[in-house]
Amino acid sequence: MLLDSGKKKRSWRSKDPTVMKPKKKTDLPARIPTHVAIIMDGNGRWARSRGLPRLAGHRAGTENLRRVIQAAVEFGIQYLTVYAFSTENWDRPTDEVQGLMKIFEEVIDRELQELYDQGVQIRHVGRLDRLSSTFREKILHAIEFTKNNHRLILNIAFNYGGRDEILHVIQEMIRKGVKPEEVTESLVEQYLFTAGTPCPDLIIRTSGEVRGSNFLIWQGAYSEWYFPAVYWPDFDKEQLRCALEEYSHRDRRYGRVRTDEDPCHVG
C-alpha cells in the first residue's frame, strides 16, 4: 500500500539490502515469476526519517513505481500488481486521503503516455465507487487507452480489499442465480476483480512489516512471500532483482512432495 503505519521492523527471512546484491548486474535470476505483486509499504516512515511530511513520502513512492515498472519490463515479468490504496485507507485523515487522490490523478496525467509507449496495459483491481467522477473517468480512460498493450499487464489495486473482493464474488453469484453445486474454484476466479490474471507467484511487502494486510487473499493462497526491510521509495531495480533471485531458489510444491522425498511426508 502507499499508506503505512507502525515502527520499522526487521523482517523474518529478509536479508540486509545493503549486502544482498547479485554478483553480476547483467545476470538474470534463473527463474522469473510470471506474476509479481507488491505491497508498497513504508512511504510515511521514509518521509518521517527525513523530517518530511507524509505526503512527500507518497510522492516519492509514486516516483519509485515508475522505476520498478521499468525494471519489471526489463526482467520479463508479465504481470505486476501493486497495492495502491486499500478499502481501509479511507479511514486515514481526510487531508492525507485528499492529498493522495490528487497525487494519483497527477500520476495518471503525467505517466500514461510513457506507460503506453513501454507496452504496459493498465487494469484496475477493486471498486470505482467513492472516487470522484473526474478520477474515475481518468482511470477508465487509462484502461481503454492501453488495452491493446501486452508487454506488461499492470494491475492497480485501488479501493481494493481482499475480503471486499470475496464479498463481491458472493454477491454477484447470488444476483446471477448460481446454484451451490455449480460453485467451483474456476467459477469463483471468473468473478474476482483479477479475472483473467494468473495468481501471483511472488508477493513482496517492503518496509520489513510481515503482514498480508487484506491483499489478494484468494489469489495469494500459494504465493511465495518476500519481506525486504527497505522502505518502498528505496526499493529499486537491484532490490527487485534480489527478490527475484530469492524466488528462483524457492521450492514450490503446492502441498505435494518431490519424487525424491518420503511419500508419507506432509508439508
Say which residues have a Cβ less than 8 Å from residue 170's Cβ, sequence separation at least 6: none
- 41 catalytic residue (yes or no): yes
C-alpha cell of residue 265: 511426508
- Strand ranges across the sheet with 35-39: 120-125, 152-160, 79-86, 35-39, 202-205, 224-226
Q: For the chain, how far is it from start to end, CA to CA, in angstroms?
A: 31
- Reference 213, options 99, 85, 101; nearest CA is 85
Given 4, 41, 164, 201, which residue is catalytic? 41
Given 43, 64, 89, 214, which residue is catalytic? 89
Alpha helices in 40-184 (DSSP H): 43-48, 54-75, 94-117, 133-145, 162-175
DSSP annotation string for 183-243: --HHHHHHHSTTTTSPPPSEEEEGGG----TT-STTTTTT-EEE--SS-GGG--HHHHHHH
- The dihedrals phi and psi of 65, each to the nearest 5 degrees, come to -60, -40
- 89 catalytic residue (yes or no): yes
- Residues 219/195, Cβ–Cβ less than 8 Å: no
Residues with catalytic roles: 41, 89
